[in-house]
Homo-oligomer: A and B are copies of this chain.
Amino acid sequence: MLTIGQLAATAGVTVRTVRHYHHVGLLPEPERDASGYRRYNAQAAVDLIRIRTLADAGVPLARIDALLHAQPAEFAAAVTDIDAALQRKIDQLTEHRRRIADLASGEALVLPHEVVANLNRMRDLGASERMVRLERDVWILMQALDPDSMPQAIRDKTASFDDPETTRLFLAIDQSLDWDPHDPRVDRLIDDLDAWEIAHERDSSQPENPTLFFSLIVEESPAWQRILDVLAHRAKQRRTAV
């Protein structure tokens, strides 16, 4: 007669594993001796070894019992089924590895290379890290909410760096984030931006749902709360006038 430790050693598992199999009903509870110790016979050792043979092959515990008593045809079907499940998991993990490989740097985080290049160009132009992060977050939101408009938006943005006036405004925006909303410089910036919008009205393709983009910026800066409000108001007036 074997104790639980001897049985476990025979099958190459831990004592906890044997008790777990009792708990889930995979291996029947044996008789107890006078002190309450479990006592196993040789058949239990054989049963446990057969269970481990399947478990070591990745068969879920819940299916092992049925498999041990299955006819060859059922057995083969179940094995095929389990093999397919294993393959699915492997495919999933392989996909994870592919994606992990794309995560070259923390900032990139699967943003297109052109966007990362644009962000770096912003840094070269003297933009603050805060502005770069804000811009990055806008791109992240856009990719999640409106991925179809990404290619055009990227082209527009890249082209904008070739226009000195746009670049100048961009840097002014960066500076203005910390201004008081009623700083007179804010009013001058609004005028400049309004003029710029009129000049570039042809390609004013708004995102589908601009609310989140706006709030992302507004959350960062009270001045920009006012700037966006005033600009929206003026644009509305223009449309009404027409």
Contacts and interface: CB of A to CB of B under 8 A. Distances in A.
What interface size band does chain A fall in?
35 or more
Interface in A65-86: 67-68, 70-72, 75-76, 79, 82-83, 86
Nearest to A43: B219
A32 interface: no
A134 to B, nearest CB: 10
Nearest to A1: B215
B97 A93 contact: no
A77 B199 CA distance: 48
Interface string A166-182: 00000000000000000
Given A90-B94, A219-B43, A100 B141 contact: no
A218 to B, nearest CB: 8
A83 B110 contact: no
Contact of A50 (B100, B109, B219): B109
A157 to B, nearest CB: 18
Contacts of A105: 72, 75-76
A42 B213 contact: yes
A58 interface: yes
Contacts of A219: 41-43
B43 A106 contact: no
B215 A99 contact: no
A70 B21 CA distance: 43
6 contacts: A50-B140, A53-B103, A58-B99, A68-B106, A76-B104, A86-B97
Interface of A: 1-2, 10-12, 41-43, 45-46, 49-50, 53-54, 56-59, 67-68, 70-72, 75-76, 79, 82-83, 86-87, 89-90, 93-94, 96-97, 99-107, 109-110, 137, 140-141, 144-145, 212-213, 215-216, 219
Q: Which 10 A-B residue pairings sit nearest by Cβ, starting from the closest?
A: A58-B96, A57-B99, A42-B216, A42-B215, A46-B137, A75-B106, A57-B100, A42-B212, A72-B105, A49-B144
Given A45-B144, A70-B106, 20 more contacts: A2-B212, A10-B212, A12-B144, A42-B212, A45-B212, A46-B137, A46-B141, A53-B109, A54-B103, A54-B109, A57-B96, A57-B100, A71-B106, A72-B106, A82-B100, A83-B101, A86-B97, A87-B97, A90-B90, A90-B93
